[in-house]
Amino acid sequence: MTLNDTIPTIFVGQDAAGRWLVQDGTGGIEGRFTTERAAIRFARDEAEIHHLAVAMAAQPLVALA
């Protein structure tokens, strides 16, 4: 997943059960959190390290594993 074709993106959102997930479009980054605040903090930290944009997911995310 990307925000558009040129900007790699990390997404913050909830799964169908309401847990907070953070995922990049390649499956290389995933985090699971109990609070939105913790998920956003993780996403921002990872985005800074890997030069990614951060976006809220428009649809529920599905855990990779």
At 17-57, the pLDDT tens digits run 999 999 998 889 999 999 999 999 999 999 999 999 999 99
| 23 in a structural domain | yes
Q: How many residues does the chain have?
A: 65
Place of tokens 């913790």: 38
Full-prediction pTM beyond 0.75?
Answer: yes
What confidence category does residue 4 fall into, taking pLDDT thresholds of 50, 70 and 90? Answer: low
| 42 in a structural domain | yes
| 61 in a structural domain | no
Q: Number of structural domains, the chain?
A: 1
Could you tell me the two tokens for 63? 């855990």
Looking at residue 38, the DSSP 8-state letter turns out to be H
- In whole angstroms, give the CA distance from residue 19 to residue 14: 5
